[in-house]
Amino acid sequence: MTYGFETLAIHAGQDPEARTGSVVPPIYQTSTYAQDGVGRPREGYEYSRSGNPTRDALQEALRALEGGRRGLAFASGLAAEDTLLRTVCQPGDHVVIPDDAYGGTFRLFAKVAERWGLTWTAASIHHLDTMRNAIRPGQTKVIWVETPSNPLLGVNDIAATAALAHDAGALLVVDNTFASPYLQQPLGLGADVVVHSTTKYLGGHSDVVGGALIVSDDELGERLAYHQNAMGSVNGPFDAWLTMRGIRTLGVRMDRHCDNAERVVDYLRHHKAVSEVLYPGLPTHPGHETAAKQMKRFGGMVSFRAAGGEEAAVRICESTELFILAESLGGVESLIEHPGRMTHASAAGSPLEVPADLVRLSVGIETGDDLLADLERALG
């Protein structure tokens, strides 16, 4: 049978527990397991780095929601990214990365993977020719995109980029954190790997850190699972359980995030203190048509540029009350931040440096009128 998204979010990997009938999957808070004999682990479980029933349940839920062949859960989004790179690349290989990406991802490439011998080129995700020109034939193993991107809300045509990557003999990796699988499913558009910081919309409550990889190929899934165990960057059972708890309400939360974000965008684009609003749902956004084609809705992330420059942007960030000044995103509460001085400070002086007058909002699920009033006070 083919189930709807919300049904999968509640049931995939989360069958009632067999022994007691517990509707909620239990937390197997254990490091090791009794074996039925030497070399005969019960149901394959021997050590929780290698396998844990709670993490397995989360991994099945992730696989189902993204429509993949295998899902793997990690201690953080960056742990997932690092494991992926060291699985599919080796020293001397090359990766095309976005010129608009999460600062932590840039730091991983520029300060960690580069020392390991992996080279990279930053290119605009908006233009196929720009990405094509960045490819090094025979050396480029991965094209990496975020869509929508962090923090400029850029949009990439996933299907077209997948064709470009495959023609070059490379994998297409899509960071789907901003959209969540409720709004966008890159594997169905031709991507090879989906990356998530499950800390964000999948967890949804700002109380757990995690990451995920979902793949469309069984062989690649096996290789990643081997490295997941060998490198050991797994999440614990309680973190896995918290993430599953969040996934169950992902659909209804995302609808409310989108509703509130659309109201915030409509308010900001008419305010004299704002010089530009960045949101894929605006018809004037350069990626609007692509986003409308490959996304269900346009998400809960909004960025804007302050008309008064950097100091005005900082003042706005420090003047809200309901919008909490904090890093991260995707929780039920609204957050505000200054990317240039916070999440993307590591990209200063690089091709990924963000505008100094930029403000990023993670629009939560509070009462919409209250969020608009809070922005009115801060902008005024």
For residue 53, is the peptide bond before it cis, meaning its omega torsion is within 30 degrees of 0? no
102 belongs to the catalytic site:
yes
Distance CA 150, CA 96 (A): 16
| Partners of 142 in beta bridges | 95, 171
CB atoms within 10 A of CB 26: 14
Distance CA 14, CA 19 (A): 14
| Partners of 306 in beta bridges | 274
SS3 content of the chain, % helix, strand, coil (to 5): 40, 15, 45
182 belongs to the catalytic site:
no
Out of 33, 102, 201, 279, pick the active-site residue: 102
Looking at residue 9, its pLDDT comes to 96
Contact predicate 214/68, CB 8 Å = yes
200 belongs to the catalytic site:
yes
Distance CA 380, CA 374 (A): 10
Long-range contacts of 262-268 (CB under 8 A, 24+ apart): 262/298, 263/368, 263/371, 263/372, 264/302, 264/361, 264/363, 264/368, 264/371, 264/372, 264/375, 265/302, 267/372, 267/375, 267/376, 268/302, 268/304, 268/375
Strand pairing category for 324-325 and 193-197: unpaired
Amino acid at 25: P
Q: What is the DSSP string of 90-120?
A: -TT-EEEEESS--HHHHHIIIIIIHHHT-EE
Q: What is the DSSP string of 3-33?
A: --HHHHHHHTT-PPPTTT--SSPP----SB-
93 belongs to the catalytic site:
no
Question: What distances in angstroms separate CA 156 from CA 59, 146, 160, 311, one per listed residue?
Answer: 26, 7, 9, 31
Quick check: helix, strand or coil at residue 278? strand
Looking at residue 257, its pLDDT comes to 98
| Partners of 164 in beta bridges | none
Strand pairing category for 193-197 and 211-215: antiparallel
Question: What distances in angstroms separate CA 373 from CA 253, 263, 268, 319, 332, one per listed residue?
Answer: 21, 12, 12, 12, 18
Whose tokens are 């100091």? That residue is 311
Structure-block tokens of residue 173: 């990796």
HSE-CB at 150 with a 13 A cutoff on CA atoms is: 31
Looking at residue 1, its pLDDT comes to 59
**pLDDT tens for the chain, residues 1 to 380:** 589 999 999 999 999 988 899 999 999 999 999 999 998 999 999 999 999 999 999 999 999 999 999 999 999 999 999 999 999 999 999 999 999 999 999 999 999 999 999 999 999 999 999 999 999 999 999 999 999 999 999 999 999 999 999 999 999 999 999 999 999 999 999 999 999 999 999 999 999 999 999 999 999 999 999 999 999 999 999 999 999 999 999 999 999 999 999 999 999 999 999 999 999 999 999 999 999 999 999 999 999 999 999 999 999 999 999 999 999 999 999 999 999 999 999 899 998 999 999 999 999 999 999 999 999 999 98
Structural domains of the chain, with CATH: 5-245 (3.40.640.10), 250-379 (3.90.1150.10)
Contact predicate 309/276, CB 8 Å = no
Distance CA 124, CA 322 (A): 34
Whose tokens are 């169905």? That residue is 188
Out of 141, 200, 296, 297, pick the active-site residue: 200
Out of 175, 239, 357, 374, pick the active-site residue: 175
